């Protein structure tokens, strides 16, 4: 199980490293679907590991002691670390979405201001033309 999780964590790392960088920040834009799919896979591997251990020693779910419960200290460390990684991934995804939204808002705000200035210039130019053009030659 741990080798599979390590492989999935490597995939998570490569998704983050290969993602588009947000200019002037340490943030990246990630594909939310890829990230959430990977988190689901990590969960499945973690859950599947317990089921696999039960099957390997020939016990069913109704018995009190399972292989996973036999070594709770080590298992709890792995589980806690996995939960921590997943929580960090969710937090990172949230921060990335917020950063991307903020960046998009800034870009749109700048575009709006530029468009407003251009429109003002166009209107002033047309106004000047109507003032200087004789009334009979207007189209």
pLDDT band at 118 (very low <50, low <70, confident <90, very high): very high
CA dist 85 and 111 (Å) reads 38
45-60 confidence digits (pLDDT tens): 777 765 554 454 444 4
CB distance 103 to 23 below 8 Å:
yes
67-97 confidence digits (pLDDT tens): 445 555 666 777 788 888 888 888 888 888 8
Contacts of 9 (CB under 8 A, 6+ apart): 42, 85
Q: Tell me the whole-structure pTM to 2 decimals.
A: 0.37
CA dist 91 and 86 (Å) reads 9
Where along the chain do its domains lie? 2-131
């Amino acid at each position: 199980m741990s080798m599979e999780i390590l492989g999935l964590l490597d995939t998570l790392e490569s998704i983050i490293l290969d993602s588009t960088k947000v200019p002037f920040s340490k943030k990246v834009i990630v594909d939310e679907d890829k990230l959430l799919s990977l988190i689901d896979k990590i969960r499945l591997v973690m859950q599947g590991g317990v089921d696999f251990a039960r099957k390997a020693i020939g016990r069913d779910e109704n018995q009190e002691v399972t292989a996973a419960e036999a070594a709770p200290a080590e298992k709890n460390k792995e589980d806690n670390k996995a939960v921590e990684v997943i929580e960090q991934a969710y937090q990172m995804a949230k921060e990335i979405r917020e950063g991307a939204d903020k960046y998009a808002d800034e870009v749109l705000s700048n575009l709006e201001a530029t468009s407003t200035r251009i429109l003002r210039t166009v209107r002033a130019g047309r106004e000047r033309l109507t003032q200087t053009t004789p009334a009979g030659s207007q189209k």
